[in-house]
Amino acid sequence: MTPTRALHDAGQSLWLDNLTRMMLDDGTLERLIAEHHVSGMTSNPTIFDKAVASGAYDAQIAELEARGLRDEEVFFELAASDLRRACRLFADVHRRTAGFDGFVSLEVSPELAYDTEASIAQAAELHELVGFPNLYIKIPGTPQGLAAIEETVFAGIPVNVTLLFSSEQHMAAADAYHRALERRIAAGLAPDVPSVASLFVSRWDVAVAQTAPPELRGRLGLAIGGRAYVAYRALLGSDRLRRLMNAGARPQRLLWASTGTKDPDASDTLYVDGLAAPCTVNTMPDATLRAYADHGVDPPVLLPRDGGDAEAVIAGFERSGEDVGALASRLQREGAEAFVKSWRSLLQTIQSERSALAGA
């Protein structure tokens, strides 16, 4: 049995944090599904930016020119074409798991992270544009995003809550999700609208790399994950969720995001080995997935129900002067800013490709 199969059998979904037309055209994604039990994927502007710059989308960009679309609209048309193909590849997983797995994610414009109404409108537009039931719309879990998440789920659209950095932010996102389901039940609507909540992990260790006590280096991200997992398990056993499930709802799954190791001195499977847990998702870059398939812990050591040494590690950072709560807020803010920067770079690349094609 391979490490990826063992992790899958332990109850965790393995998703790929990458989507490009090249990997669809050359069969890479199909092989990863077949060989490494990949059961879903997420996409992001940074990866797409590089793919557009390579010229892989020039033919479709040329076709779209006649429609007079804005650069943002061109991107969403390009992305929708890829996402439909990916949704078809994961359709069997989606059917086999009765709609619990087999999803592909597309995010609203990062520039809408603090605009509730615009996020709601664009989420609906994008879901209709792609037109597949196994599509998640990614909406940031910012204070303004929480209201957009609630309204989008109430409308029956599956949501991947992104940019979460702490258990508190995660619980706020879960509350918004549950409010939406309760409203659907009150309105006589089915509450089986799926969702995942994406907790970013590796950025914690990057943020404290220069200040962490030597004995705690590379341990904060996993500790934050451990704390979130304890709260998640409590949520799964809560009366509120049990009432929702009795009416036909499903739990919002916790998803580990940003799981590629950034420290060259740390294990390249650090955030996969350390966050193995049933009823969760780990979305990882290609390199991390292949590394885990090659030398991941087999069988996986599951994350303890009590979070292991998570609270002791966090307490160690607090004693060293780190305000973990303030850092979570800062990371969410900086994450939103980084997404906007990547987004604008992507749109600039699309504009450059359009200009080059027009000139040719």
DSSP state of 109: P
- Contact between 275 and 290 under an 8 Å Cβ cutoff? The reply is no
* Interacting residues of 312 by C-beta distance below 8 A, sequence separation 6+: none
Q: What is the full DSSP assignment across 172-234? A: HHHHHHHHHHHHHHHTT------EEEEEE-HHHHHHTTTTS-GGGTT-HHHHHHHHHHHHHHH
The contacts of residue 157 (CB under 8 Å, 6+ apart) are 123, 124, 127, 137, 193
Cα-trace Rg, the chain:
20
- 285-317 burial code (b ≥16 CB/10 A, e <16): beebbebbbeebbbebeebeeebbebeebbebb
Residue 138 is among the residues annotated as catalytic for this protein = yes
**Annotated catalytic residue: which of 50, 138, 262, 341?**
138
What is the rounded distance in angstroms from the CA atom of residue 203 to the CA atom of residue 222? 11
* Residue of 213, 334, 214, 206 lying closest to 263 (CA atoms): 206
Q: Which residues fall within 8 angstroms of residue 217, CB to CB, at 6 or more apart?
A: 205, 209, 263
DSSP string, 50-99: HHHHTTTTHHHHHHHGGGT--HHHHHHHHHHHHHHHHHHHTHHHHHHTTT
Both tokens of 8, joined, read 């899958």
Report how far apart, in Å, the C-alpha atoms of 316 and of each of 143, 166, 319 are. 29, 17, 5
Q: Which residues are catalytic?
A: 138
